[in-house]
């Protein structure tokens, strides 16, 4: 029988370590960063890409040499998490630097351009707005999905430039999936015939953005909608996968198109002499789709608080600053990307809004000891599904299941052996931790049909 006494997470000690680490994280980066040294920040986000659908996490059937370069020439985070198991709330967390349940952004916005309710609240300050105040030029290329009404538009939320679409998905050959959306350049609609293949077009725009802004600090949010549905690819990419068939073949081609694009971005950074002055993050917004993606060995998929829904491909590259080949095995969060960017931009003290992530650089360089996070938390649909991780333990209350489940991720990464009966003290501590975290959260500001689909899938017995 496992001993609960020796395996209980030491919350108090970790809280102390966390506080010291956070203090270091907040001060060292500012002290060592002068205005002239502000690095460019690029966040490359993919959509619904499986944990194991990158070479650096062991993918065998889809080569991703350029995504692998980010991890191999920088830092690989095998335990990188997002704040939500599907699209829009995850993006709300990433761009706000706060858990999205703090401000009610807990579902996908499905409203039209005249819907003033569904979108990230205007009171929430986003990363591009913060970076603008310390001299950055900011651009978004790709999927927004944080509201369509004018007050939610990325150009009104801190981005100087926008090439992409407002909703949650888009036909890759240029036709909008709904009448309230379009490809936009700024506020101007781009005709469908001007689109070649959306992933390629986004990559080309990213290269041009770098060329235009090479002389000043820039923030580029390159939010590919690939490999999100619809499954669409070109013969060029499909031809790379004669060993695959069906939807997996198309999905592989879509991932490969992203990888080519990332290669173009990295090549442009080198060509412009920006390699050592640009920090590139790569991650997926949530776990892979059930039908085409590979989250193995993780359990679950997009929409789930099992690891396969929330643990994602995650890497960072900053030559000359982060040691190539580093594998950082502590849990990290997409919130940390936000905090790291702010700290390196040198403006942390100027931002009154509290962010909840941690500057990772001191941890990666060894200047900070301890761990970035005492615990990480997830809440879906107002608590219909929730989870908390601390140390090696993970507690989850899956939707449609009657009770919480407890797993030891160091011995049971696939979450197969529920320890809640054997370790009641650990279960109680993690439940307490979840409810403590959840206490200041607010109810979802709106509901959406997506979660109803998830409930149907669960009811049908899928996972």
Q: Which is nearer to Ca ion, 82 or 404 (CB)?
A: 82
CB neighbour list of residue 225: distance below 8 Å, 6 or more residues apart:
47, 142, 143, 165, 169, 170, 172, 198, 199
Q: Which of 39, 44, 47, 70 binds Ca ion (CB under 5 A)?
A: 47
- Measured between alpha carbons, how far apart are the two ends of the chain, in Å? 28
Dist. CA 180–CA 366, nearest whole Å? 49
Dist. CA 72–CA 325, nearest whole Å? 5
Verify binding: residue 286, Ca ion, rule CB under 5 A.
yes
Sign of CA dihedral 231, 246, 255, 49: positive
* Largest separation between any pair of C-alpha atoms in the chain: 65
Strands (E), 100-172: 137-143, 161-165
Q: Which of 25, 40, 44, 48 binds Ca ion (CB under 5 A)?
A: 48
Verify binding: residue 433, Ca ion, rule CB under 5 A.
no
Q: Which is nearer to Ca ion, 87 or 429 (CB)?
A: 87
Closest separation in Å from C-beta 47 to Ca ion: 4
Dist. CA 377–CA 82, nearest whole Å? 10
Closest separation in Å from C-beta 406 to Ca ion: 27
Dist. CA 154–CA 147, nearest whole Å? 9
Among 59, 76, 87, 228, the active-site one is 87
Q: Which is nearer to Ca ion, 85 or 444 (CB)?
A: 85
Among 105, 107, 145, 373, the active-site one is 145
Give, as ranges, the residues between 105 and 144 that touch Ca ion (CB under 5 A): none
Contact between 300 and 345 under an 8 Å Cβ cutoff? The reply is: no
Closest separation in Å from C-beta 309 to Ca ion: 10
Q: Which is nearer to Ca ion, 81 or 136 (CB)?
A: 81
Contact between 173 and 151 under an 8 Å Cβ cutoff? The reply is: no
Q: Which is nearer to Ca ion, 322 or 387 (CB)?
A: 387
Closest separation in Å from C-beta 144 to Ca ion: 13
Q: Which is nearer to Ca ion, 47 or 405 (CB)?
A: 47
List the structure tokens of 104: 């009610």
Verify binding: residue 285, Ca ion, rule CB under 5 A.
yes
Q: Which is nearer to Ca ion, 338 or 427 (CB)?
A: 338
Give, as ranges, the residues between 380 and 409 that touch Ca ion (CB under 5 A): none
Q: How many residues bind Ca ion (CB under 5 A)?
A: 5
Dist. CA 455–CA 460, nearest whole Å? 9
Dist. CA 231–CA 27, nearest whole Å? 46
Closest separation in Å from C-beta 91 to Ca ion: 8
For residue 105, report the phi and psi dihedrals to the nearest 5 degrees.
Answer: -90, 80
Using the rule CB under 5 A, give the single segment among 137-145, 239-247, 285-293, 322-330 that binds Ca ion: 285-293
Q: Which is nearer to Ca ion, 45 or 280 (CB)?
A: 45
Using the rule CB under 5 A, give the single segment among 48-56, 111-119, 291-299, 317-325 that binds Ca ion: 48-56
Give, as ranges, the residues between 82 and 111 that touch Ca ion (CB under 5 A): 87
Closest separation in Å from C-beta 110 to Ca ion: 14
Annotated catalytic, 296? no
Dist. CA 447–CA 460, nearest whole Å? 22
Contact between 265 and 206 under an 8 Å Cβ cutoff? The reply is: yes
Give, as ranges, the residues between 304 and 333 that touch Ca ion (CB under 5 A): none
Q: Which is nearer to Ca ion, 87 or 419 (CB)?
A: 87
Verify binding: residue 254, Ca ion, rule CB under 5 A.
no
Beta bridge partners of 66: none
Verify binding: residue 448, Ca ion, rule CB under 5 A.
no
Using the rule CB under 5 A, give the single segment among 33-41, 46-54, 159-167, 390-398 that binds Ca ion: 46-54
DSSP 215: T
Where are the alpha helices (H) located in 285-423, listed in sequence order? 307-310, 334-345, 361-365
How many C-beta neighbours within 10 Å does residue 132 have? 17
Annotated catalytic, 59? no
List the structure tokens of 207: 């290269």
Closest separation in Å from C-beta 313 to Ca ion: 13
Closest separation in Å from C-beta 284 to Ca ion: 7
Dist. CA 287–CA 312, nearest whole Å? 6
Using the rule CB under 5 A, give the single segment among 11-19, 45-53, 143-151, 202-210 that binds Ca ion: 45-53
Using the rule CB under 5 A, give the single segment among 39-47, 231-239, 312-320, 406-414 that binds Ca ion: 39-47
For residue 133, report the phi and psi dihedrals to the nearest 5 degrees.
Answer: -70, -15
Closest separation in Å from C-beta 170 to Ca ion: 13
Dist. CA 301–CA 116, nearest whole Å? 31
Q: Which residue is nearest to Ca ion (CB)?
A: 87
List the structure tokens of 47: 């959509």
Contact between 393 and 409 under an 8 Å Cβ cutoff? The reply is: yes
Using the rule CB under 5 A, give the single segment among 97-105, 138-146, 280-288, 370-378 that binds Ca ion: 280-288
Contact between 258 and 13 under an 8 Å Cβ cutoff? The reply is: no
Show which residues are catalytic: 87, 145
Residues that bind Ca ion (CB under 5 A): 47-48, 87, 285-286
């Amino acid at each position: 029988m496992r001993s609960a006494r020796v395996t209980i997470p030491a919350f108090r000690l970790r809280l102390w370590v966390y506080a010291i680490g956070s203090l270091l994280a907040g001060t060292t980066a500012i002290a060592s960063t002068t205005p002239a040294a502000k690095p460019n920040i690029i966040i490359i986000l993919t959509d619904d890409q499986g944990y194991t659908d990158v070479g650096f996490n062991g993918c065998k059937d889809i080569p991703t040499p350029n995504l692998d370069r980010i991890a191999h020439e920088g830092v690989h985070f095998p335990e990188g998490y997002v704040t939500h198991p599907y699209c829009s709330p995850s993006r709300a967390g990433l761009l706000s630097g706060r858990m999205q349940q703090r401000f009610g952004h807990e579902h996908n916005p499905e409203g039209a351009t005249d819907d003033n309710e569904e979108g990230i609240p205007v009171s929430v300050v986003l990363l591009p707005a913060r970076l603008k105040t310390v001299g950055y030029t900011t651009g978004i290329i790709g999927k927004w999905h944080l509201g369509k009404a004018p007050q939610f538009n990325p150009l009104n939320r801190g981005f100087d430039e926008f090439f992409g679409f407002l909703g949650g998905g888009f036909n890759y050959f240029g036709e909008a999936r709904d009448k309230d959306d379009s490809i936009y350049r700024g506020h101007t609609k781009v005709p469908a015939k001007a689109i070649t293949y959306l992933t390629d077009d986004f990559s080309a725009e990213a290269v041009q953005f770098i060329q235009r802004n090479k002389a000043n600090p820039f923030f580029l949010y390159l939010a590919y909608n690939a490999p999100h549905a619809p499954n669409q690819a070109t013969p060029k990419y499909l031809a790379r996968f004669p060993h695959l068939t069906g939807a997996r073949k198309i999905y592989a081609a879509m991932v490969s198109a992203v990888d080519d694009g990332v290669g173009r971005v990295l090549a442009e950074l080198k060509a412009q002499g920006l390699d050592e002055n640009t920090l590139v993050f790569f991650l997926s917004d949530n776990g892979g789709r059930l039908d085409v993606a590979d989250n193995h060995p993780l359990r679950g998929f997009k929409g789930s608080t099992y690891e396969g829904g929330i643990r994602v491909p995650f890497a960072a590259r900053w030559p000359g600053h982060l040691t190539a080949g580093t594998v950082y095995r502590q849990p990290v969060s997409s919130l940390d990307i936000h905090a790291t960017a702010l700290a390196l931009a040198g403006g942390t003290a100027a931002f009154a809004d509290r962010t909840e992530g941690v500057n990772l650089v001191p941890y990666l360089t060894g200047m900070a000891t301890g761990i970035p996070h005492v615990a990480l938390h997830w809440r879906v649909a107002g608590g219909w599904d929730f989870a908390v991780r601390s140390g090696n333990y993970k507690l989850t209350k899956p939707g449609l299941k009657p009770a919480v489940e407890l797993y030891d991720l160091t011995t049971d990464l696939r979450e197969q052996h529920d320890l809640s009966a054997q370790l009641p003290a650990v279960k109680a501590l993690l439940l307490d931790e979840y409810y403590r975290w959840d206490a200041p959260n607010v109810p979802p500001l709106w509901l959406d049909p997506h979660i109803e689909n998830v409930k149907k899938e669960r009811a049908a017995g899928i996972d």
